[in-house]
Structure formats: structure tokens, C-alpha cells
Amino acid sequence: MKARYIILPLLCVCMTVAAQDNSKHHHIEDSTDVFFRHLNLNEVTVTGVTGDTKLKHATAPVSIVTPQILKATASTNIIDAIAHQPGVSQLTTGGSISKPIIRGLGYNRVVVMSEGVRQEGQQWGDEHGVEVDGSSVGSVEILKGPASLMYGSDAMAGVVILHAQPTLAEGELKGNISTEYQTNNGLFNYSLQMAGNQKGFVWDARYSDKMAHAYKNKYDGYVPGSQFRERAGRLMLGLNKGWGHSRLTWTAYHLTPGIVEGERDAETGELEHEEGWTGHQYSKALPFQQVKHYKVVWDNSLNLSSGYLKAIIGYQQNRRQEFEEEMDEYELYFKLHTLTYDLRYVTNEFNGWKLSTGIGGMYQKSGNEGEEYLIPDYRLFDFGFYATATKSLGDNWTLNGGLRYDHRRLHGYELMEDGDVRFANFSRHFNGVTGSIGAVCNINEHFNVRLNLARGFRTPNMSELASNGVHEGSLRYEIGNQDLKAEYSMQADLGLEFTSQYVSAQLALFANRIDNYIFTHRLAEEIEEGYLTYAYTQGDARLLGFEAGVDLHPVHSVHFSNTFSYVDAQQMHADPGTKYLPFTPAPKWASELKWELFHHSHTTVNHHHTTDAAHRSVLNNLFIAAGLDCYLKQSHIYSADDTETVTPGYALLNLSAGTDIQVKGKKIAELYITADNLLNKAYQNHLSRLKYADENVVTGRRGVYNMGRNITFKLVVPISM
């Protein structure tokens, strides 16, 4: 680890900083970064660990993104909105497609949960994002580290849990209208929502529509293919009673993203586009994708005298089409059906003990309905059962742990093409035993120590086992390996937290060893002209890193927060060019200074008693903030075969402001204004796949650059009845 990567966080941790004020005027939703604002959040119950657990008792690292943070963050999709969290990054393809990266690992090593079930949309692909409407997400839990104990295969790097907004209290009927505009890509978004609870009958309905033309930066101008259109709907109907709840949720998500090819004119160096194309067009243009995702989830919970029993059944259908030559004729078409099930029992606490046990899994069927092929038709079935236990030892110690067994079967079907075998018929079976054990020690009211050891498990996906074709997303011909073994990881986490009246600081260290790590390597042969050939293989890897943070809070209205994230990911016993794992996030330092100008805690729509100042004020919860995101140079790259190149460091200046607008003490709207990349810096994020597009022969610059200056205006109007 280079010295400059160590000095900066240590300087931050050594700073004299101030913690939160526990007075009645401080609210969790006013936090600027949950990584620091943990005094009140410690009392929040998180669901992603071993059963329902208070955050202060969670031994594994967990971050919470509150509704207020989501509303105040400018983004083009839900993963974009949470990628500012320490230890979390995103692998991007243009503005509409983002994949979560947790501590240097992504793809099928991260599980995304939505509506209580794992989101399945063929996430193995480079250009396959997360098919969830960001407007429907109320809050987010991020588990960092192996979570196979609760979520089975694929939860090796962590889990992103997207929570819907909670159901309303008895007798309430509310809604809201939100709209958003971004200046760089002309993004226009609106969302309509109405929810209620009448005598235990609950409902929640939402419709969202989003469109954006091509984004621009000062080097490339407008980027052809970066435009997109998104539409989504959600309907929840259910019962909330004393015995528990039963809810049925239906969601539909349609995304039409363009495909950024990055091809350039050989003489001018400009990005190529169709004749007559202008950057301001919202309409689709070739090539593009058409993604449709449908989901039905039945969520049930039964309260028992000794605890509760929870059962969730979900069905998803993912349709992914790629149009290259004709607007109405697709070349590639994946159709994926997924049925998931989860049954768990959680006890109430007794004598300091809390136990849980469960069984869950999924069935999948995937088919090709296009003219081009990359993976075969396949079926998948898996199940896993687990048990966990938590023990509280007085007020200072909390211990927890558990064991899980998983079984997965995969079967790929034969496909003949022009008399030759394109895909062979084959079956694979995988078994895995995983677990975790951890402890939290509340040494005193100021200092906490967390320690966790977890074993992760991931089976190879169908692309890794059997791909045989051109992967347009990565511009290469890929060959699978049916002999691949399952990946196993062992990760140790150590967390240190210190809080006092003037200091709030956190340091999270992790060390991760992965056996049978799956990756691609280049072959000398050229199967299809114009495409390099890559095949899947595996070896061992290790990842080391940390997240550090401090928060200066000298007075109630001022917050100065800093975070630093670092991960070093290497293949063991590898040659210098293949030593580092590809797509490892660059070290990042994020700093924000926030000033809350006005804050009247009693001026809410639910409080009838307000102060005179609150009645007179038109603005409430008014804040202004300045932020600086510094990405250090990333020279730890997979350089073999020109797979990756060094990414220089850069810094982005951001400004933001927000306020509630009220009349006679009643909130009538929320307004947020955010200026990202205020200085219009031309940069390429190390995790942008567009970084490796064609070279500009005039300037010598390779690839497409990220979005330039972007100012976002967001308005939320609550409707109370």
C-alpha cells in the first residue's frame, strides 16, 4: 500500500471532530452521511444480518442510506444514488446502466434485494444494470462482506437491500408528486404515488416516467447512444393486522437504453452517429436495448407468542433484447423466468438469546429467442437452509453466528447451428457450507469494537461455464469453461468506532481470501474476425482494504465529514501483468461541509403545535453544502492484453442546497438543487467501461469521458388527506 494512501485517512482520524447533538432538534433524516450519523441510527433495526437486529448489535459492517439522503442525491439510477457510500462503487456503461461494486467485487458476487426477493436480471453481463425504479426505493441497507449465511450463493461481496417505503399507520391516506430535471442530459423525471391504510387494508400505487437525451462533456461533446427512456409502475395491496401482515406487490419496469459504441471518424476524431442525429434527441436510435422486467411478490408474516414466521414467494420475468440493424428486429433476446422462495422463523429474545432458522432458494429457466447467441438455454434450481443465534451478554457484549448449507443444480441445453454443436448438453451440481461468527463490544458509551469472520460461497454462472459467442458489451468473443469450481471466500472484518460530544470517527478494516476466483484470460486464436478471444479460468485472490471516516460538528448547524476508501485486490502467484484484479475501484477521499441554516423541529404536518418562529418561516430544514470527491490515481491494473490502463487522479467539486417550503407551519414542498462536477472537469472513472472505446486520432485521447457539469433540480410535493 502506498504511503499517501495511509497518511490521508490517519490524518482524518486524528482530527478533533464533533459528534451529533442528541437534543430534540436533531433528526436522523437530517443526516448528511449515515456512515457517521450513527448515534441515533444505532437504534434502527436492520434486516440484512442474522434476523432483525439493531444496528449497534450488528457484528458485520452495515451502511444505511436514509430517505433524506436518497432525495437529496442527484442520480440517473438507484445504484448511482448509493455509490457515494464508503466502500461502494459502480461499474457504469453510459448514464442508465450501473452495477454495484462492494469493496472491489461486483457482478454475480453482489446480491441485490428488492421487494424482499433477490433481483434476477442476468446480472452477469457487463451492460446489464439493476431493473428497479429508484423512485420506489425508500431506504437502502448495504452489507459489506460475505453474506452467504442469509442469502446463499452470490452474496460473496455483500448485499444491497432496496427497501420500499413503509406502509402507513392506521387511518392515514397520503401521496406525493415528485419531479426532477438535469441540465446536462436533459433528464426529466416525474413520479406519482398514493398510499393508504384503512382498517388494516393497506395499498401503495406508483407510476414513474424518466427520459434523458445524450449526455455531454467538454472533450466529446454529446455522446451518441447515451440517451435512455425508463417507465415503471408499482402496486401493493395487503392487510396489516394484529396477527401479522399479508401483502401482494406487482412491479413493471421498462428501460430503453442506447448503446454507446464509441466509434470515431477516422479524420475528425468525432464520435460517429446517424445522419441527422442531434444530442438533444430523446427518441431511441440504433443500436439500443429493450429491457422489460416484471415481478410479483407475496409477502407474509405471522406473529406467534414465541416470535414470528415469515414467508415470501416471488416470480420475476426478465426480457432483454438488443437491436443493432433494424428498429423492430432484435438480434439478441434473453428471456429469464425466476421463482424465489424464502421461509424463516425468528424467535423473540429470551434470556439474552435470539434464534432464527430458515430455508430458501430459487428456480430459473432462461431461453434464447434471438438470432445471435452467447449462452445456452438453461435451467437452475437451488435451495439452502440455515440457522443463526445471537446472544447478549449484559450491556457490553453481543455475540452472533450461524451455519448454512446450499445445493445448486445447473443444466445447459444443446444447440446445433449449421450442423455444428454451438452449445453442448451438460449438467453441474454444487454444494456449499458457509457460516459466520462475530462479536460487538461496547467498551463504554464512547467506544465500540466490532469483529466478524465470514465464509462466502458462489457457484459459476452460465456465462462463465458455457458462453460461446461475441459479447457485444465487452467487444470480445468469450468461451466458457465447464470444469470451473465454486468460489469460496474467507473474510475478516474489524470495526472501531469512537463517539463523544466532539468526536465521531470510524475505521473499518477487512481482509478477504478467495479460492478458485473466476476471471477471463486472452487466447491467441481469433474465432471471429475483429474480436479478441477470451476464455474463463480461475485461481486464488486476496483483497485488503479499509474505510475510514471522521465528522467535525463544532456547532449544531455545521457538519464537516470526511471518508476515505481503499481496496487492494490481487491474484495470488500471478505474473506482473495479471497480478491485480480488473475493475478495482481507485482510492477515494470524499469531503463535505454542510451548514443547516434553519431547522424547526416541530414544523411537520403531523404536529398541531408549532412555535411562532415556525409559523413565520417559509423555509425549514434549509441547508447548503459543498463537497469534494477526490479519486486518486489507479495504477494497480490488469494490464495484460491491454485489458486495463492506468487511470489518472482527479477531483470533482459539488454544491448542493435543499429546503422544506411551508405555509403556516405546514410543509407543502421539498426543493433540492445539486451541482455535480461544478468546474466541468473532463475525467474518466476507472470503472467506466466507455474508457476503452476508440482512440481520438486528432487528440490522442482514448475512450469516452464521463458526464460534465450537471445541475439537478428536484421538487417533491406531499399530498395529505
How confident is the model over 278-327, as pLDDT tens digits? 889 999 888 899 999 999 999 999 999 999 999 999 999 999 999 988 89
Question: pLDDT > 70: what percent of the chain?
Answer: 90
Q: Is pLDDT at 443 greater than 80 in this prediction?
A: yes
How confident is the model over 199-211, as pLDDT tens digits? 999 999 999 999 9
Which position has the higher pLDDT, 48 or 185?
A: 185
pLDDT of residue 32: 34
pLDDT of residue 709: 97
Which position has the higher pLDDT, 302 or 63?
A: 302
Predicted structure pTM score: 0.90
Report d(CA 580, CA 634) in Å as an integer: 11
pLDDT of residue 16: 29
pLDDT-based confidence at residue 164 (cuts at 50, 70, 90) = very high
What is 472-524 written as a DSSP string? Answer: TTTTEEEE--TTPPPEEEEEEEEEEEEE-SS-EEEEEEEEEEEEEEEEEEEES
> What average pLDDT score do residues 528-545 get?
89
pLDDT-based confidence at residue 444 (cuts at 50, 70, 90) = confident
pLDDT of residue 395: 80
CA proximity to 154, closest of 481, 384, 358: 384
pLDDT of residue 196: 96
Report d(CA 210, CA 213) in Å as an integer: 11
Q: Is pLDDT at 14 greater than 70 in this prediction?
A: no
pLDDT of residue 608: 46
Report d(CA 26, CA 40) in Å as an integer: 9
Report d(CA 91, CA 557) in Å as an integer: 35
Residue where the block lists cell 436533531? 26
What number of residues does the chain have? 721
Report d(CA 106, CA 28) in Å as an integer: 30
| Dihedral of the alpha carbons of 11, 14, 15, 16, in degrees to the nearest 10 | 180
- Cell output for 381: 434450481
Average pLDDT along the chain:
88
How confident is the model over 481-535, as pLDDT tens digits? 999 999 999 999 999 999 887 888 999 999 999 999 998 888 888 888 777 888 9
> What average pLDDT score do residues 54-83 get?
88
Question: What is the three-class DSSP state of 204?
Answer: strand
pLDDT of residue 614: 55
Report d(CA 632, CA 696) in Å as an integer: 25
pLDDT of residue 511: 97
> What average pLDDT score do residues 401-430 get?
93
pLDDT of residue 575: 86
Q: Is pLDDT at 11 greater than 60 in this prediction?
A: no
Say if residues 335 and 322 touch (Cβ distance below 8 Å). Answer: no
pLDDT of residue 45: 73
pLDDT of residue 49: 67
- Least confident range of 290-294, 429-433, 520-524, 697-701: 520-524
pLDDT of residue 613: 57
Report d(CA 311, CA 509) in Å as an integer: 35
Report d(CA 211, CA 189) in Å as an integer: 7
Q: Is pLDDT at 34 greater than 70 in this prediction?
A: no
pLDDT of residue 5: 37
Q: Is pLDDT at 10 greater than 60 in this prediction?
A: no
Residue where the block lists cell 431493473? 131
> What average pLDDT score do residues 236-251 get?
97
Q: Is pLDDT at 12 greater than 60 in this prediction?
A: no
How confident is the model over 69-85, as pLDDT tens digits? 999 999 999 999 999 99
